Structure 1
């Protein structure tokens, strides 16, 4: 698998399915910045109707709907409905994920931890999602809410250094020094990342 971070401003995304799992995937896309993501559901419950609002389509996607998309998650549909939908999407060159059916997936959704602009992801190539979830919970404990501010601070410093013409290697050295000085990472990593003495 090839990991990428997809900017939802440049891709049309949708979820097709019914029930709590489809709504959870839709929420995850919205939380990741996909404000225009669509939810296709031919049996939406009241929660889906309320939450998806104008982004709800009260049917599964047809050919014209699919032609307007780039990526489709198919969630919580019986296989006899999910498989032909995935095939139709793939024929139009969409990337398709059929949740919990790895043979029908072009890609696998990752377990994730978000702290502002910091995104930590875990993938087991679709083979052990429960294990990926355990690792995600471990990372949530290790990387708390303070990491959002840390990333924002470093981002501001880096933008200033770029305006000053500081090279990438020098900026990386400065970031490593800040992280080591403030002990942002475990001692072993901080020791490894700290600038080495000269001479």
Structure 2
């Protein structure tokens, strides 16, 4: 059984002071609202409702910690880029997320979720620019790959990979689909490597 399958909700944090101190390794998941972030977490953990999936973008308004074993956590960050969220909330998220991504010692790597039909939007680039200078690993999941033909999906993968490889040396990318389970084993292997790398 994958270690992800043992994941359970641990705590939520809205302010930096609420972040747990009892962690040794954290893997963060970030992405634009409605890119499929919660579905990715649920698919990787083989649980239907671990991360809340909503048809209303912007519902994740806290940093949610899911423990998978002693000191090891998957971290669901608030979705970004949804216009109907109040400006004050957006400013709060940006401040907390930027500080978390740039200064959190336990953070080992970032899984960045992008809808394959709309990759590398302005806020995705901003997220990459926030996190890349830390030198920590970034793995991009191009989600909803089942919505495109195999050829279209592979063409988009090549285009995104070319852009990322020329700008972000610590970044990798793959296709992913929660519906068809495409790329689940690959993503699990990458994240397991981060968790087990001492």
Same fold (TM over 0.5): no
Higher-Rg structure is 1
TM-score by length of structure 1 reads: 0.33
TM-score (norm 2): 0.33
Structure in which a larger fraction of residues adopt helix? 1
